[in-house]
Structure 1
Amino acid sequence: MDPKHFYRKMDALLARIGDAAHDTELLPTVLLELELSFGEELRFHRGRLYEEEDGVFVLRRRDAEDAFPTELSLEAAPVRRVLRHGSYLFDTESPGELGGEQVAAFVVTGSGRRWLFVYDLMPGWVHEEVLLCVNAVRAALNVKLASGDLRSDIEQAAQIQQSLLPTTPPSMDGFLFAGRSQPAERVGGDLYDFIRLSDEMIGVSIGDASGHGLPAALLVRDVVTGLRMGLEDQRKIVYTIKKLNDVIHRSTFSSRFISLFYGEVEQNGNLLYVNCGHPPPLLVKRDGTVQPLGATGTVIGPLRELALYRAYAYLAPGDTLVLYTDGLIERRNREEGLYEIERLRRFVVRHRELEAQALVEAILEDVYAFGHEGVWTDDVTVVVVQRRARA
């Protein structure tokens, strides 16, 4: 077979495998495509596909009406040989239960399952050509199935993360709450949460895990569930977060960390909070002055002992508290300029009359426009707590 012709056809087949959908017809389609593309030239035919089930390989598809074994034992010597090598050409050895006189077989894996491809070899086949062909297809299918597993894992992580976000903001007389998170990838490393501690107190948190994607999302999950469990048991803020730091420090690499702001908003306007290395939320007073709520401790995770203390603030009627993650103030434009905290401060002061949800949306729209409506390169989260002005 002409090498250039072979490689062009192989590239085309591998491209079709790479672009194919992950569904139940993927492997049966490849079974047929492989034979149609190379069977005549490489001298193989009568393909059949087996799937492992309950300790045997069960016949799932065949490209000929011939009688083939409907089950193959995993203990059968020819099957064991294919499983051990990944692919095998039975030329001088009997293929036994696999059927035929001379047979090419290979196994692919995905999602903890295995499938066995078997073809009969016809006179005139060349060992090196057939082996190169089946190994290339086997490798492409293993990558395809593995990528499907990874996407499935990421989809599950995204669903878990979405389930941790508040579905609706809480209600408390005299206050409005709103929040929104925009991940840079399918799963993100930002968090925000509202925890109802009583009819007269709401817990508000926002955080930013180092990195992006699945590792950051798993860290976010641990923090959200840890906060909810600790604070709903009426434990003190500092105690809960120090315990959380201890758990994260022991269960992750020391290079992993998460910044966190947590505050308890009382109906009378008092705010008790801790800030573990998070960008300072902006308390915008009704007259337009701004009070940053700076750090009261270090980020969570890298240090065994977390130095942390509580601080207090007060939301008077008409005041607005804006919490955000660093992806917002570090958003870049084409000139490589940053959005920065000062721009956010000016924007919030100018639009402080907006209600909480409208203010969240306006901030995100301004930040998006600042980056020329380009893709989000970092997770961005905004939370607004607003005490209504007296009539």
Structure 2
Amino acid sequence: MEQTVQNLQETYKRILTTFLRKKSEQGLYEAQQFSKVLLEHQVSPEELVSVHREVLEDLFPAISDEVLGSLDLLLEVMMGYGLAYREHQSLRDRQRELESEIEVAANMQQTLLPNDIPSVDSLDIGVVSVPAEKMSGDYYHYIMDDQQCIGVAIADIIGKGVPAALCMSMIKYAMDSVPEQRLQPAALLESLNRVVEQNVNDNMFITMMYGSYDCRSHEFQYSAAGHEPGFYYRAALDQFEELYAKGMALGVSKKPVFREYTRQINQGDMIVFLSDGVTESRIGDHFIEREEITDLIRKYMHLSTQEIVDSVYYDLAKMQDFELKDDFTLMIIRRKV
């Protein structure tokens, strides 16, 4: 190390001497290149000031005490600056590590969401899910069995970042691990509640709405665990109704009771699942009313369900200058005419 410092000192002395004599652009260029060498050898700012002082004393033996005193003061300043700079560098490196971890978790989240929407002759299904930030707390899921029954779920994980992504993966695999119960809404939520209550910290919980659609009888059974109520559109009356289901959020209680509800779905009827990021869209100084959401759905009702959800999302995002305050998930299931 001493040899390295000595070599750096000799190099700096040559660069400084050349510059003071010629004051050329070449001297400035050499100084800039020398700064890269200092970085490679991790020479701190205070060490460079010390080198500069020693070189000046060597070049100008008669240098005044005032100049040397000013360099001593600069040395003290650079010591404080060096400590602050190294702390800043450490924090920046840690920030980069966190961003990398978040990127990995965000990619993992995408693998947990369904790649394709189930293809059912009698149903038209559309979904849009957009995170407010890189990570999302929203989750949706489809399950299809051999009897032409399709299970649909939408969930909101109260929590963000990597913990939410890990929780999301746990929910997905817990749903996939109970095939004999998975299309029974109340039983599924009871099973998931046990998993969440035993494995998730007390400061995190999950809201969910789950429904099972029997494509043979067109009967829709559903239950909810503290989730934002959806909508049911009754085509015969051309009216929206609240798809309400009472139930406690997952992970809050060890033995909650989930009630099942049933709807007979006729041609043209629609089931709307959504997250609170939809109903809590903030327009100016007020939150959007639920009736405004149904008005938007009605506006695009002549389109396919995927076009409906995409159009509703675009309109609400545009009203918020495309700065979502919360994760946005909207799912529509319509029985074809």
TM-score by length of 1: 0.65
Instruction: Tell whether 2:248 aligns with 1:298.
Output: yes
1:200 positional shift: 0.7
Distance 1:358 1:203, change over 3 A: same
Larger Cα Rg: Structure 1 or Structure 2?
2
- In structure 1, the residue matched to 2:315 is 366
1:126 positional shift: 10
Instruction: Output the amino acid matched with 2:223.
Output: V
The residue matched to 1:151 in structure 2 has which SS?
helix
CA contact (8 A) 2:245 2:261 kept: no
Instruction: Tell whether 2:300 aligns with 1:351.
Output: yes
**Structure 2 segments unaligned to the other structure (5+ residues):** 1-35, 53-71
The residue matched to 1:385 in structure 2 has which SS?
strand
Q: Higher relative CO (CA 8 A, sep ≥ 6), structure 1 or 2?
A: 2
- In structure 1, the residue matched to 2:227 is 278
1:232 positional shift: 6.7
Distance 1:283 1:131, change over 3 A: same
- In structure 1, the residue matched to 2:116 is 168
Name the structure with the higher helix share.
2
1:38 positional shift: 5.7
What are the superposed Cα offsets for residues 33-77 of structure 1, whole Å, 9 maximum, x if unpaired? 964966542329xxxxxxxxxxxxxxxxxxxxxxxxxxxxxxxxx
1:352 positional shift: 2.3
- In structure 2, the residue matched to 1:385 is 333
1:271 positional shift: 0.9
Instruction: Output the amino acid matched with 1:305.
Output: K
The residue matched to 2:292 in structure 1 has which SS?
helix
> 1: CA distance between counterparts of 2:38 and 2:171?
44
- In structure 1, the residue matched to 2:95 is 147
The alignment yields a C-alpha RMSD, in angstroms, of 2.8
Instruction: Output the amino acid matched with 1:326.
Output: D
TM-score by length of 2: 0.75
Instruction: Tell whether 2:262 aligns with 1:254.
Output: no
Distance 1:42 1:232, change over 3 A: farther
> 1: CA distance between counterparts of 2:182 and 2:166?
25
- In structure 2, the residue matched to 1:81 is none
Instruction: Tell whether 2:49 aligns with 1:41.
Output: yes
> 2: CA distance between counterparts of 1:253 and 1:339?
32
- In structure 1, the residue matched to 2:274 is 324
Aligned residues: 281
- In structure 2, the residue matched to 1:243 is 191
Q: 1:263 aligns with which of 185, 190, 211?
A: 211
Map 1:216-231 to 2 at 5 A: 216-231=164-179
Q: 1:156 aligns with which of 104, 107, 112?
A: 104
CA contact (8 A) 1:231 1:240 kept: no
1:233 positional shift: 6.7
Instruction: Tell whether 2:320 aligns with 1:375.
Output: no
CA contact (8 A) 1:195 1:204 kept: yes
Distance 1:357 1:38, change over 3 A: same
- In structure 2, the residue matched to 1:21 is none
**Structure 1 segments unaligned to the other structure (5+ residues):** 1-27, 45-123
